[in-house]
Structure 1
Amino acid sequence: MNLIYPLAVPKGRRLSCEVCDAPAERVCTACTVTYYCGTVHQKADWGSIHEKICQLLIPLRTAMPFYNSEEERQHGLQQLQKRQKHLIEFCYTVAQKYLFEGKHEEAVPAALHSLRFRMNVHGLNSVELVPAYLLLAEASLGAGIKDVRHRVWLVTSFTTDSRQIYFASCAFGTEDIRTSGGYFHLANIFHGLEKLELSDTLYTKASQIWHTYLNNHYQALSRARSQQADLLGKRFLNDTGLDEAQEAEAIRILTSILSIRESTFSKEPQKTILVLKTLSLLYFLMMDNSKAKDYAMRALGLAETYRSVEERRVIRNLLDLIYSDEEQEGHATT
């Protein structure tokens, strides 16, 4: 474990601690590609995960060799990504083992590595980061970490409910409406921590889950009407397929996201249109035509402003059904 002297650091390059991202002063002499702010974090990382992956980090953190052909280069990149994916799962499993044993402090560096490798493979804004953030939050909360430098990476306001929501996603799948609350909850946390790009990705994910679910019900209803499947001549009853609690959750999630979207809609209006359209579908299927029409008209206004031809067509079709229902309601009351 040698000290890193200033002259040994290339000009303009910043070396950061593996654990807390502070300026580094030490290097692991075994791999020479991992740096630390001091002995405390170096020992912590070694005891948690570094001893197990030390040599595996060398090919990941050194320049790729010269390849004679594009085919060889692509093969080299694939092997590099394969190693990173292996380390994602290995570090995650090690961190989980520590948590199971009640060793929260040991779990933190391993969870950090899993998160860092996920970022390298999936990008900074991917929902694939969520499991690692949850694991890291659980480890840090259990360890009672107070060091401000650690909080560069930590999300400290995760609750038992949010962890349970993630585990539910393992049972129901990542695209199920029962997991949308988890994405929404995490987005709120990241938004509060000003990790705006990640929160934006999670808000979009929650919106898309609800839109897909409600649009499937809407399309089934539209097909039934077009085929005149109601042989008894009765008016079709719209149905969300949700219970009252789920409908209330959908309204809460979507209206909250809409409020955020409308404050920044000029940057990405399509995301605002998506939420407005989803709320219109929700209220239409709940047979609240007044609110359904209001959200649909707002979506149409945005779509016309930003010249989205396909969106205009879809929204107008929805409005036609809403107007049709209103007419039937009018005839029923006369």
Structure 2
Amino acid sequence: MNVIYPLAVPKGRRLCCEVCEAPAERVCAACTVTYYCGVVHQKADWDSIHEKICQLLIPLRTSMPFYNSEEERQHGLQQLQQRQKYLIEFCYTVAQKYLFEGKHEDAVPAALHSLRFRVNLYGLSSVELVPAYLLLAEASLGLGRINQAEEYLFQAQWTVLKSTDCSHATHSLLHRNLGLLYIAKKNYKEARYHLANDIYFASCAFGTKDIRTSGGYFHLANIFYDLKKLDLADTLYTKVSEIWDAYLNNHYQVLSQTHTQQMDLLGKLFENDTGLDEAQEAEAIRILTSILKIRESTADKAPQKTIFVLKILVMLYYLMMNSSKAQEYGMRALNLAKEQQLDVHEQSTIQELLSLVSTEDHPIT
């Protein structure tokens, strides 16, 4: 972490903390454009996002240079906007990844950065602010701060209501977070209503069998599971598993057929890839391991369902180039298949997966 120096603030100028907007007393020594109320919030910001974007903030928070022509000035403004758009998405993805990993405290500074860049680029009333409000609401829920989460969700709802051009994807995210709020309040009736709307809008935006729609099914399944409506929960968990299986199997089949045959111009094998960003990979891990835990609790009743999820996790980690985790889940699937004396075809399918993984020399992440 960089050293932070006490500020000598010019008279009449008010500098605010990056995390809480209280009067600032310190500045980051590396970029000299980011301020904090003290060491605690500086460290929180550094650990969350600042270390990753420290130097990128300098051109955004310093005066623009003098340009010789209007054309040069417009080009400079366009570059500035592109930097802001990049940081909006980067900070958003980082915050999302923290949330899927259960690191709610770490998600807050990254989400705040995404929100501020959105305000700077789009203005205070733009619907572009909604995704950042929803991140902050979800982080607040994870930290048990329900009232704060409600405030962020109110801002998001109000912004959506005022907007005449709000996408189905944004409506989906809003309803999903409202569903999570009502789950936290144990109001399952309202939660089901909002998650049903989440699924509807996500289906309109992406289709009913898209991984981005699966989150709504997953949270709805969790509600039914908590209410002991196990048949409904089982149906939805199966649907979520099938969506991820279809998505990953598509990538897996292409790579398993070409990975050992095709070479790029440098003579290196093409890298495996999930087609997901880091946040989506973290979401996949969270959803699938949660379903696996539930499946394993009833493995004696339906071992095939447990093995199905294990095989999906093998594909996921294989595509993430984590052969160690892929082998771990593959061996668990094979051992369960043998214990339950499942048919030879099922066991040979798992053996094929393990053989493919064992031939790879992936770096373990």
Q: TM-score, normalised by structure 1?
A: 0.50
* The structure with more radius of gyration: 1
Q: TM-score, normalised by structure 2?
A: 0.46
